[in-house]
């Protein structure tokens, strides 16, 4: 696992991507930057989001998080039917095995990053801001983990 993302934020990014796939773009982000305090995802999209859409995304991401879904990994060989996964970001020299991260039945995609074991470890998702320029929608988001840290569910 080469990426050293903050696991709760990285798992939230997967859920955000699934909301965007299902309701807006039909595709996952093509670029992202995941950090502990604030993260961003970039999507090819024709406009910025309005306030109602931002609320819709936050509600859907948080609904998935609140389902306390298990986050699991599965290793599939490249001869397995991988057609339902976007393999664009997988390096050609990655070998014969692809690691798939599954968030319950909500999301699954190839990934090399670190994740939580259950969505109950993520916290509350909040969009900080959005912008649109040159066909790129950028969503900046953060997590409120105060309740989790107060109850000591996750320690890093």
Q: Summarize pLDDT for 125-149 with one digit per residue, the tens.
A: 999 999 999 999 999 999 999 877 7
* Residues 93 and 85: beta-carbon distance below 8 Å: no
Global pTM? 0.88
**How do residues 68-112 score in pLDDT, each as one tens digit?**
999 999 998 877 767 777 777 776 666 778 899 999 999 999 998
Site of tokens 């999507």: 43
Q: What domains can you pick out in the chain, each with its CATH number? A: 7-71+117-150 (3.30.980.10)
Structure tokens at 81: 């039917």
Residue 111 has which token pair? 């990934």
Q: Which residue has the tokens 């074991």?
A: 117
Under the banding of pLDDT at 50, 70 and 90, the label for residue 152 is low
Kindly report the number of other CB atoms within 10 A of residue 3's CB atom. Answer: 10
Q: How far is CA 139 from CA 89, 92, 116, in A?
A: 20, 29, 22
């Amino acid at each position: 696992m080469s990426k050293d993302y903050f696991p709760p934020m990285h798992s939230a990014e997967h859920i955000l991507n699934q909301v965007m796939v299902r309701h807006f773009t039909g595709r996952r982000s093509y670029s992202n930057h995941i950090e502990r305090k604030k993260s961003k995802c970039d999507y090819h999209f024709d406009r910025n989001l309005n306030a109602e859409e931002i609320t819709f995304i936050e509600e859907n991401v948080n609904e998935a998080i609140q389902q306390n879904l298990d986050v699991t990994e599965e290793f599939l060989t490249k001869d397995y039917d991988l057609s339902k996964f976007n393999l664009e970001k997988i390096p050609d020299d990655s070998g014969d095995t692809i690691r798939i991260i599954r968030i319950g039945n909500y999301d699954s995609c190839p990934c090399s990053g670190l994740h939580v074991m259950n969505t109950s470890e993520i916290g509350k998702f909040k969009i900080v801001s959005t912008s649109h320029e040159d066909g790129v929608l950028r969503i900046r988001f953060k997590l409120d983990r105060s309740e989790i840290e107060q109850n000591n569910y996750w320690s890093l």
